[in-house]
Structure 1
């Protein structure tokens, strides 16, 4: 039994100074306690305590990889990236994360080297730019080496060729970093991207025993049969959530399925599955009494996905639409009454605007968070790390300000969330979308996962919010991170 004292503990009703936890649960909240025998007393010296954060859509090992190897996330000019590559050339391979599609081609990369594989992973994580060595290695003939969506798939095995030891280190690194952001629960998509389903699962199981993280796993459609043959045992820290699939592509590659037309390609995007394959997948998911989580970027994709989910309704639990980046406002009515949660990434606002608008011949509605909230739809905020940095305060800032990283302007301010609304959708409302009712709030009976800041983040001026740093992260009343 632990007494957490001399704090400012933010419950939904009021702020109290003390909290008692025992066996991983909150058992009392107040200002003074008598007749308790504590195993430990932790003085928080007036710091602020909040429920810990959840991130309901990310790629755990992929995020660890982005921390582990070279990244050009902050380089916004072609020549900057080429100079970086020249400075980091070696005799084995040059694999780089977070490239922003600045017009580099295989010809540019061949000037750096034709003798080793050079791969640039695009920041949307749906495309690669590669040199001739890689094209020859995977047996592709391509004029530019810019491989988008389905054409990039042959490169994935080469990109993902990592040892078990490397993958373990990446997973550990990712969880430690998530702890430093106050995150204690995640919904992650990892099982189909590395050496094997079995090895990836074994790595995650092993690492979360050492570095606790409440881990909910998406079952990618490519490994669904393997999962069904031998369903692993679940625990308090490891659960299987739903089947992950893709309905369309991305704005960057002009493959998001839209009603509006892309200026350059003169297309409306694309569907990843044929109609027959899509129906076959939905029938398979439902026949195995599973839920589904669907990557859905475009507004036409959104309407078609909602229609499909109505045609093949779930039996229990919650389906998920991941991203919902563009939605026609009238389409939100179609989702009412359905047990479907929307996984939204507020940092996409800062990363995508205004350039995403400029991709279309007519302006679509993008990231209508307030409209989704006003329609009383289930939603959770997340990062899609490594696409974005999984610091919830960065996401809250973007949801509140809708400010572009590029133009330093805010867009569509009628769709802003309040700071408290954004906070709730990283905590208690996010937990509800995972079917968890005793997480995401500080109240008696709830799981003792919480985060400590020096300042009151709910009343910090918004321009200072991104600067706030976690002092402590607690999971099951155990301190897992200390600044």
Structure 2
């Protein structure tokens, strides 16, 4: 047995509830104490640290996160010259016909939008540079040639090829981008396993004990992805509790896979629209900064309803990517027409809402899977993109909470940092970490509400009734922080000290 003591222990059973010690037998919590007891156990002194139920990220791409940790990434670059130099240096290490896949390009931050011709001047490799939202990318001429795509190409369902005066300029969106990403992939079970292990180590280091991930539809073989999951995760392996969302393109093909408590099956995932950065998020009204477009519908209304019906046929919930208000309206129409008999549907992101949509949502069996860091990344330029009026209900976490709609907290890593303390900070303060301006503070969550996103709520959303609180009979998953977030000046700067999964210490600082 192990006894955790010597710090502040928040149970999350209710706001402010604390105990002095927690006794664990094997992987279960067997007792809580208001004073440190004398018991026959291994005493683990928290040394003044702060313990919570294990933090869980409700929306991540585990394989993509592992790949991004080892790839060329432009997310922290502040000048286009730095981007070009990094790209040139990486390309010089590769044979001419290799694919060079880069991450994290942010044209809003860099104040520059790369073109195909600029990349052509740097390298003959086949280049894909994913925009930070991962719903758009810039590719070069060698990439177009590899796929035999020429200027005459037409847009595809759910995908857009940008052109300037009739010539492809290199920017590809959503399903059009997927063509290039899929062509670049050559992953084996072992390489996928390495990506997963790399991501899991990083997640343990920031205090994550579990995650809801979506990887099955992207690496040309869902069977290989599942084999890698099985190889990496479990007791006496990498200990991370995972819920696996099942991409609509492979939903039936993974139906016979035997899921476990470490690898739990979850809803059918699909997309209703694109992303705000590339102006493919779908809105009721045109973009304020580009009035000739309202965004991109990945599916028609009829096709959306067919996807919901398909999930219902398999007694499954749906998990739908939604950014714009029109996309949300279409999805609500579909799930109202084909209601879920038990459980809850999952609306992912729901970045831009309105009072009428929230009123409809509160009457449905659904939860919202929100990404607090989107607000810190997207403001203030999001206001320029869609206007002040629509921005009032952007990232409307407090309005959703007050409507009685449960929220889970996710990062969408590798799009945003998977450090949950940064997300909690964003949910509470709604401002970039290096800025003073807060945006629409009426939508800020309290610190307790923000921590609930990653503990109590995450467990309920993941249908894991033995997680989310420190309570007798619950699983011994804990996150131990160096500083108390309820009193810290900067929550996002708090460091994780220790991570415990299934009663085992998997990370110690």
- Whether these two folds match at TM > 0.5 is yes
How far residue 407 of structure 1 moved from its aligned partner, in angstroms, is: 6.0
CA distance in 2, matches of 1:465, 1:396: 7
How far residue 25 of structure 1 moved from its aligned partner, in angstroms, is: 1.2
Q: 1:158 aligns with which of 183, 186, 189?
A: 183
Say whether 1:274 aligns with 2:284: no
CA RMSD of aligned residues (A): 1.7
Q: 2:344 aligns with which of 318, 328, 332?
A: 318
Query: What residue in structure 2 maps to residue 185 of structure 1?
Result: 210
Q: 2:497 aligns with which of 466, 471, 476?
A: 471
Say whether 1:58 aligns with 2:85: no
Mean alpha-carbon deviation: is it higher for 213-222 or for 437-446? 437-446
Residues matched between the structures, number: 476
Mean alpha-carbon deviation: is it higher for 87-96 or for 173-182? 87-96
Say whether 1:15 aligns with 2:15: no
SS, match of residue 266 in structure 1: coil
Q: 1:447 aligns with which of 467, 475, 485?
A: 475
Deviations 1:390-441 (A, max 9, x none): 1111111111111136865211111111111101111102211222332111
SS, match of residue 81 in structure 2: helix
Specify whether residues 405 and 465 from structure 1 end up closer, same or farther in structure 2 by C-alpha distance, changes over 3 A only.
closer
CA distance in 1, matches of 2:84, 2:464: 47
CA distance in 2, matches of 1:393, 1:361: 30
Query: What residue in structure 2 maps to residue 429 of structure 1?
Result: 457
Say whether 1:47 aligns with 2:88: no
Deviations 1:232-288 (A, max 9, x none): 222221111010000111111111111231122521112111233222222111111
Aligned residues of 2:88 and 2:123 also touching (Cα < 8 A): no
Query: What residue in structure 2 maps to residue 33 of structure 1?
Result: 37
Aligned residues of 1:218 and 1:241 also touching (Cα < 8 A): yes
Say whether 1:111 aligns with 2:117: no
CA distance in 1, matches of 2:347, 2:180: 27
Query: What residue in structure 1 maps to residue 285 of structure 2?
Result: 260
How far residue 452 of structure 1 moved from its aligned partner, in angstroms, is: 1.1
Aligned residues of 2:246 and 2:268 also touching (Cα < 8 A): yes
CA distance in 2, matches of 1:428, 1:247: 28
Mean alpha-carbon deviation: is it higher for 205-214 or for 161-170? 161-170
Aligned residues of 1:354 and 1:407 also touching (Cα < 8 A): no
Aligned residues of 2:190 and 2:228 also touching (Cα < 8 A): no
Deviations 1:86-113 (A, max 9, x none): 2332233432111113311110011011
Aligned residues of 2:422 and 2:493 also touching (Cα < 8 A): no
How far residue 338 of structure 1 moved from its aligned partner, in angstroms, is: 1.7
Query: What residue in structure 1 maps to residue 102 of structure 2?
Result: 96
Deviations 1:333-381 (A, max 9, x none): 1112321010000000000011111113564131111111111111111
Specify whether residues 408 and 84 from structure 1 end up closer, same or farther in structure 2 by C-alpha distance, changes over 3 A only.
farther
Aligned residues of 1:318 and 1:434 also touching (Cα < 8 A): no
Say whether 1:132 aligns with 2:141: yes
Query: What residue in structure 1 maps to residue 156 of structure 2?
Result: none
Aligned residues of 2:321 and 2:349 also touching (Cα < 8 A): yes
Query: What residue in structure 2 maps to residue 123 of structure 1?
Result: 132
Say whether 1:306 aligns with 2:306: no
CA distance in 1, matches of 2:496, 2:67: 23
CA distance in 2, matches of 1:73, 1:83: 14
Aligned residues of 1:383 and 1:389 also touching (Cα < 8 A): yes
Say whether 1:5 aligns with 2:5: yes
SS, match of residue 381 in structure 2: coil
How far residue 121 of structure 1 moved from its aligned partner, in angstroms, is: 1.2
Specify whether residues 22 and 130 from structure 1 end up closer, same or farther in structure 2 by C-alpha distance, changes over 3 A only.
same
Within a 5 Å distance, the mapping from 1:336-351 to structure 2 comes to: 336-351=362-377
Mean alpha-carbon deviation: is it higher for 291-300 or for 270-279? 270-279
How far residue 81 of structure 1 moved from its aligned partner, in angstroms, is: 1.2
CA distance in 2, matches of 1:196, 1:215: 19
In structure 2, stretches of 5+ residues that fail to align are 152-167
Aligned residues of 1:7 and 1:16 also touching (Cα < 8 A): no
Deviations 1:35-69 (A, max 9, x none): x432x222222222111111111100001111011
Aligned residues of 1:261 and 1:362 also touching (Cα < 8 A): no
Aligned residues of 2:137 and 2:177 also touching (Cα < 8 A): yes
SS, match of residue 73 in structure 2: coil
How far residue 17 of structure 1 moved from its aligned partner, in angstroms, is: 2.3
Aligned residues of 1:351 and 1:405 also touching (Cα < 8 A): no
